[in-house]
Structures are given as C-alpha cells and as structure tokens.
Amino acid sequence: MKNIKYLAFIIISISCKSQQVYPLNTDFEEVPQGSYLKDINNELSPYIGEYHANFQGHIIKLFISKETMKFFSSLNIYEDVLSIKYIITNSTGNTLQDTKNAIFQPNQILHTIYSRGTYPNKNTVWFNYGGTNCGVGWGAIELKKINSSQISWEYRPNDTIIDDSKCPPGTDTTIYLPETKDLIFTKQ
C-alpha cells in the first residue's frame, strides 16, 4: 500500500510542471503558457495611490492599485499589473462616469484599464484601456512618473466604427477619460 502511494506521488510530481516565473517586462510571446510575469523589481509600486486632475471643466480622480497574478486568458499568462479605476465629475459635481467600485469579471474588457508593461528607464507604465460602452475609446494610456507626487497622463484612443448593429441606439458612447497628452495628476 505504501509503495502504491509513493509511486502515485512520484508520477504526479513528475507530470506536474511548476509555474515558471519571469521578470515583469519579459516578452509574453517568449514565455510558456501559464507563466507568471512578476514585479520582481517593484516597478509598479511607485504609481499606487489616488491622483486628481482637472481637464476641460471636469475633475478626474484615478485610483491606482496593484493586482498580483492577474490572469489574462487571451494570453494564457499571469502578470502583476496596475489597475486604474476612476471617477469623473463635471464642474457642478455631477458624476459623469464612475468605475471606482466596479467589480470586473475575469474576462471583462469594458471599462478596464490594466498595465501591460513598464519602461523603467523612462519612469513610464503603459496600459490597455478596454473602452466604454460598445468598446468606444479603447486604446492606450501612458503614465509617466514626474516625481513622488505627480504623474503625467497620455491617452490615445483608437477608432471604432459604430452602427445600430454593433451598439443599440441611445447608448452613451461618450469618452469621458481625458483625450490628451501631458495632463498632470497630483497624488492625494
């Protein structure tokens, strides 16, 4: 009986591959599926926090947190990422868009902003934004660390063609995130 248990343990141990860990900025196309891109050098931590900025009469509040071992099913990898949630209000205090308390499903793209890598020598993190309703505004965001209390924002939305077959009439397709470069956010 002991021999059978021992043999089963050896077979299971040999057949199970341990997860391979790589530094955060390793090319995800060069690693085995199921790998973990880990923030070994703590490159993401300086960006964590709450930041505020004003843009064209709107107040934008960013809430940046770190998620460890976030699984990306489309790539079949795990990665340490920064996640940005936000609240955007107009000059009278009315909320235009709020994702601060949103709970995103595992494969959800809509309204999500996740980091996809860093440029340590440039103090920059780049993000993918899943867009708002009907995918409008999906694109890239870059945050550059200016100092311990300020970051610079650049958002480059991609084009999306919308018609009634892709997006129901009356759906709010406004992009509320600031479409600009060099917008300064201050840490609160």
Which single residue is written with the structure tokens 């955060």? Answer: 24
Range of the domain at 92: 20-187
Count of domains forming the chain: 1
The verdict on residue 91 lying in a domain is yes
- CA proximity to 126, closest of 134, 118, 138: 118
Instruction: Evaluate if residue 16 carries a pLDDT over 70.
Output: no
Mean pLDDT of 53-59: 97
Mean pLDDT of 78-95: 97
Contact 137, 112 (CB under 8 A): no
CATH of the domain at 127: 2.40.128
- CA proximity to 79, closest of 129, 130, 43: 43
Instruction: Evaluate if residue 15 carries a pLDDT over 70.
Output: no
Tokens at 142, concatenated: 């870059």
DSSP string of 50-80, one letter each residue? EEEEEETTEEEEEEEEEEEEEEETTTTEEEE
Tokens at 178, concatenated: 């600031």
Q: Provide, rounded to the nearest whole percent, the portion of the chain with pLDDT above 90.
A: 70
Element spanning 151, H or E: strand 150-157
pTM: 0.86
Residue 106: pLDDT band (50, 70, 90) is confident
Contacts of 31 (CB under 8 A, 6+ apart): 20, 22, 37, 77
The verdict on residue 152 lying in a domain is yes
The verdict on residue 4 lying in a domain is no
